[in-house]
Structure formats: structure tokens, C-alpha cells
Amino acid sequence: NLVFVAKESVVEETRVAASVETAKKMRSLGFDVVVEAGAGVLSRIPDAEYEAAGARIGSIKEAKAADVVLKVRRPTTKEIAGYKSGAIIIAIMDPYGNEAALAEMARRGLTSFAVELMPRITRAQSMDVLSSQANLAGYQAVIEAAAVYDRALPMMMTAAGTVPAAKVFVMGAGVAGLQAIATARRLGAQVSATDVRPAAKEQVASLGAKFVAVEDEEFKAAETAGGYAKEMSKEYQAKQAVLVADHIAKQDIIITTALIPGRPAPRLVSRDMLKAMRPGAVAVDLAVERGGNIEGAEYGKVAEVEGVRVVGYPNMAGRIAASASALYAKNLVTFLETMVDKDTKSLAVNRTDELIKATMLTDGGEVVNPNFVDPDQ
């Protein structure tokens, strides 16, 4: 069986779907591995290193022979046309709102998987791309904030005087937020955080940060069975805004990470809140790809909003591509391994496995994922 590791065609995408380690692993699983020339360059993996790991370097034309194609982003229409019918395609498919692309993959007979739909159960932890990438994004958000900020983060007592510790406020304490808290703490900042899920309170405290939230009856019930946040009521949002406005006025850096599955990101920070911040304040909006948590945040830019520099970089994990690719590649190969029969070393997709069922988008010429099946057909 042949695995093709594609070079990403979207210019902003710096990551790659295989590392040297995973290329070796795929060889040991019995695959021939072809890596598209230059695929790893932006993640600092030269072609020669893949070759040394037993892979072959090839052109995009070789995708036609592949039984499995590994990618970071969903393939374009042109790329889809270059794959053979029946091929397995694994990537971050971003399926919501992209039903036409799913239909195209189905029409071409591809068996496609959206790795970001992986259930968050213990068995699948090592395949959880949302966590592996969000963790790095949370770290990098603090690094980007520190780079823009004109003051030092830690308190420094020197002969020439004392620099006070920066006050950092993290909004949304999921995977990215918790790593942002830990990173800001490591840099010596004074850190506080908020979330609407009660479970976050203890996690924030265990990292040594202060928890700030409206803890009413709605808060106590804000976590869904899946561990995600619900969209909060207008009343709760109003109470939260009052509390947060007071708090934000005293902060130097805010980092927002709040998301609600399948919904636009909640708007947590208004222009008025930014206006109340100190001169030189910095904000990072990690939710910018989903509409943003901060009013005035601009996709791909550092925007000046009411005197606050608001960082709106998409693909934050991709800004540390070498680390992001290493973890993403590992997530993918671990998932691919579940599709290989150990004895015969042949591909054997178990369509009753819950990981397969949750992530499979198209198969046998049809869109099969219940979340995306067209009700009119």
C-alpha cells in the first residue's frame, strides 16, 4: 500500500502531515511512503531526512497511485481530481459550511476523514489534533503578546529600579487557555483567567492563576456532557460583561480563546473595554478564525483598536510549524494505524469503530457522516 504525504497548497499553511518519525512508523506498518518534494520545508524537514527514513520523494502526480493521502488541510477541487477512487484521505477537513467540498469528495469516491471530529475519549487522546494544536496555539499566543508588548513580563528588581510584573488575563480556559496560563506564569506574569464551565475553576487554580467568573446557577450547568461550553443566555452575558470590564481595565495583556462547537465565537471584549486598558496594552484573539472574541480584531493582522494592539493571527500553531507538525503527524499516524491489519499489513477500515464513525465524512460515493448528510436526498 502506498501513502502519499502532500505538500500543502494553501500559502498560509506551514505544517506538514508527516514527520521523519512517522515516515519510519508508516514504513514499519508496511506502507510505501511518497513525500511530495518540499512538503516539509516550512517545518524544517528537508526531503533528504524523509529519504533517510525510508520514504521516496515524488511529485504531485504520484498522488494518483496512493491508497492513503495525508494532508493538513482539506484538499482543493484540483487536488481531489488527482486522487484515485477509493483512496483514504485524512486531514483537518473543516466540514461545517463546506458541504459542496464534501459532496465533491463523495462524487470522486474518496473515503475521507476529518481528524478534528475525533471523539475526546481516552483511547483517542493520542489522535486528538484539536488538543495537540490548541496546546501549542495557547503557548504561542503568549509569545506573540510578549513580542508586541513594550514592557517586560516578569517583575525585575534591579539596581536601576523595579519593573512590575505584567498582568495577564486569559479568557476561555480550555486546552489553549490552560497552556496560555502556564506559559504566562513561566514568564513571571501575574495571571488570572475566566471560563463559563465550573470544571475550569479548579484547573485554573491548580496552575496558580486567579479565577474570575460570574458563578450563578447558569454557570453551574454550563458544561455539556461532551465537556464543551453552552452558548450562555443574554442575561449571563450581561453580568459577565460587567465583571470582566472592571477586571480588564486593570490588565496589561488579554488572551482570548473562547469557542462554542458549531457556533460563532462568543463576543467577550468590546471596544469600550479595550478603551479602558492601560497605554501599551496588548490583546491576542485566538478565536479570530471563528469570528473573534474581541471587537475590532482583524484576521491576519495586529490591529490598533482604541489604543490596544490586538493580534489576530490565524493558524497560531502553524507559527511554530516544526513543533506543530511533529505532533500533528503523530496524531495522524496513530489514527492510520487503527486502519491497518497487523497480520497481513493491509488496509482494513473497521466501519463500526466509533473513531471511524465519528470522523468519516465520505465513503463509497456518499457523504456518510450523519452531521453532514443532506436531508433533501
Q: Where in the sequence numbering do the catalytic residues fall?
A: 120, 125, 128, 131, 228
Rounded to an integer, what distance in angstroms lies between the CA atom of residue 370 and that of residue 334? 24
Interface with ligand NAD: number of residues (CB under 6 A): 30
Give the integer Cα–Cα distance in Å for 113 and 117.
9
350: cell is: 473497521
Q: Does 209 bind ligand NAD (CB under 6 A)?
A: no
- For 134, the enclosing helix (H) or strand (E) is helix 129-148
Binding mask 85-124 for ligand NAD (x = CB under 6 A): -----------------------------------x----
**28-37 core/surface letters (b: 16 or more CB in 10 A; e: else):** ebebbbbbbe
Instruction: Kindly write out the interface string for residues 214-253 of this chain, putting x where it contacts ligand NAD by CB under 6 A and - elsewhere.
Output: -------------xxx--x---------------------
Instruction: Work out whether 331 is an interface residue with ligand NAD (CB under 6 A).
Output: no
- 3-state SS class at 304: strand
Question: What is the torsional sign of CA 348, 350, 356, 357?
Answer: positive
Among 29, 146, 241, 259, binds ligand NAD (CB under 6 A): 259
* Residue 195 touches ligand NAD, criterion: CB under 6 A: yes
Q: Which of 196, 212, 294, 324 binds ligand NAD (CB under 6 A)?
A: 196
* Paired residues of 191 in beta bridges: 168
Q: From the CB of residue 312, how many other CB atoms can be counted at a distance below 10 Å?
A: 22
138 lies in the binding site for ligand NAD (CB under 6 A): no
Q: How far is the CB of 68 from ligand NAD (least distance, A)?
A: 25
CA-nearest of 300, 311, 196, 182 to 254 is 311
Q: Name which of 74 and 197 has its Cβ closer to ligand NAD.
A: 197
> DSSP letter string over 146-182?
HHH-SS-SS-EEETTEEEPPPEEEEE--SHHHHHHHH
Measured between alpha carbons, how far is 146 from 163 in angstroms, rounded to an integer? 15
Residue recorded with cell 449571563: 236
Q: Which is nearer to ligand NAD, 260 or 294 (CB)?
A: 260
Q: Which one of residues 36, 128, 144, 363 is an interface residue with ligand NAD (CB under 6 A)?
A: 128
Site for ligand NAD in 14-33 (CB under 6 A): none
What's the closest the beta carbon of residue 258 comes to ligand NAD, in angstroms? Answer: 4
175: contact with ligand NAD by CB under 6 A: yes
Nearer to ligand NAD, 175 or 336 (CB): 175
Binding test (CB under 6 A) with ligand NAD, winner from 183, 190, 251, 257: 257
Rounded Cα distance between 339 and 39, Å, is: 24
User: What is the C-alpha radius of gyration for the chain, rounded to an integer number of angstroms?
Assistant: 22
Q: Give the footprint of ligand NAD on this chain (CB under 6 A).
A: 120, 125, 128, 130-131, 134, 171-177, 194-197, 199-200, 227-229, 232, 257-261, 266, 268
